[in-house]
Chain A
């Protein structure tokens, strides 16, 4: 078996395509924010968030099967999907962008 080349860890930021193939594409920005003092009786998006892409950004192989690793992390208003593709070894974060921000504080700044 030839040795696999070391792949860089990259962050891919793309705009999600329009409506998904029947999958839920709830985004963090859609989540209703509770006003101060307001009770939140349920988190309607919990457990319903679908992965808003089907293919590896590195090679185009499907990442829908259980052998690929896709882990959602919630970071501020964004959903970050940490991806590992078994076909090409791509490791990266896919971040659907719903709103382009021009200026924001540098992280940790």
Chain B
């Protein structure tokens, strides 16, 4: 169990809260870049702040406080101009730095506009997504993690969940849930409904370990029948502090992103880059293939016949903010204790005026950040990727068949290569 006060400290993301101040030292994806091609203005909520995101006629990306400082109407319903966005109500115009450029109803000689600004935040584009930084200056670099800059067939599933992001992060350092939630429970469903349970998720955990490193926590698992030379133990995969997890296997490279919208809401994004190697990638444009993942059925019950749906069930049923004063952690939950400790340690770092874990300021270290991630996941070889796609969120992808075909071609190419 955790005390009520510590649970608050661990979960509240708003401005001025200890965790909120820590989280404001990192960049967050807030939209897919193509969304602004379709419509140049988007309402965004991040870390409890209501914002308006836009791209103006000059290509400037702006992220401003949603409400106009004049009469507090929403800027979401205003026109973008060559420079800036204009409030739809009385025409006040703001640029992406928050300066007020025009107040059409005021006398021309008035200096009122020079005395008015609005809150403005930095926005950058990376990997087909738009990222925001809500913290103090100087802003750190937007980390160029491998998944966002590598070549490959990109496929992005996402959904908004009514849950605090920390519950999802705790799942990232909870290896044993795999054999139960995605193993035993999936088999149970298979026996009764015919849902196809992946064989590769059934392995029994013998040992788990967690190592803090410069980008977060490396999670390791040793499954029955494996040795410490197997990828799952020797390499593992990381929780990327404080809100992502790098995972993958068999040619799939994925970043699971858990964006804290507010205390009780999270944007869950599964950003995958498929590159099995040895075959030419199919042509794909700059526009990301994105799609929403369903997680409730028409009766309001959780959809649990795929891996992420099972995870979502667990996170959401814990409550919007899990009551950790009533939990009972055991030895198998050691990773959760390590994560929580790391959060507390880094809150204190920020309070001392230091950069927290994972903040990058050296451009030489940010060309491409390759994160450790096992390739032979669960020791399952080629079986893993097929089961991961068929039994996971990618079943909803509009390009699922193309992805599976890519892996089939790669497997055939390897067979030919071996036989040659």
Contact = CB atoms under 8 A, between A and B. Distances in A.
A71 B337 contact: yes
A53 to B, nearest CB: 14
Interface of B: 1-3, 5-6, 8-9, 18, 207, 325-326, 328-331, 333-334, 337, 340-341, 344-345, 347-348, 352-354
26 contacts: A1-B352, A1-B354, A46-B326, A47-B325, A66-B3, A66-B5, A66-B8, A66-B9, A69-B340, A69-B345, A70-B3, A71-B2, A71-B329, A71-B340, A71-B341, A72-B2, A72-B329, A73-B329, A73-B330, A73-B334, A73-B337, A74-B328, A74-B329, A84-B341, A86-B344, A108-B207
Interface string A37-53: 00000000011010000
A67 interface: yes
Contacts of A66: 3, 5-6, 8-9
Interface string A18-38: 000000000000000000000
Interface string A65-91: 011111111110000001010100001
Contacts of B348: 67, 86
B3 A73 contact: no
A69 B325 contact: no
Contacts of B341: 69, 71, 82, 84, 91
B214 to A, nearest CB: 14
A62 B207 CA distance: 34
Nearest to A80: B331
Q: Which of A46, A70, A71, A82 has the most CB of B within 10 A?
A: A71
A72 B345 contact: no
| Secondary structure of the B contact surface, majority rule | helix
B328 A84 contact: no
Nearest to A73: B329
Contacts of A84: 341, 344-345
B340 A72 contact: no
Contact of B326 (A47, A69, A72): A47
A46 B328 contact: yes
A74 B330 CA distance: 5
Contacts of A71: 2, 329, 337, 340-341
A87 B69 CA distance: 43
Interface in A80-109: 82, 84, 86, 91, 108
Given A1-B353, A47-B326, A86-B348, A75 B340 contact: no
A82 B337 CA distance: 7
A47 B327 CA distance: 8
Contacts of B337: 71, 73, 82
Contacts of A72: 1-2, 329
Contacts of A69: 6, 340-341, 344-345
Nearest to A50: B3
B3 to A, nearest CB: 7
Contacts of B328: 46, 74
Contacts of A75: 330-331
A65 to B, nearest CB: 8
A75 B6 CA distance: 21
A82 to B, nearest CB: 5
Given A46-B1, A66-B8, 18 more contacts: A1-B354, A49-B1, A66-B6, A66-B9, A67-B18, A67-B347, A67-B348, A69-B6, A69-B340, A71-B337, A73-B331, A73-B337, A74-B328, A74-B331, A75-B331, A82-B341, A84-B345, A86-B348
Nearest to A87: B348
Q: Which of B2, B6, B340 has the most CB of A within 10 A?
A: B6
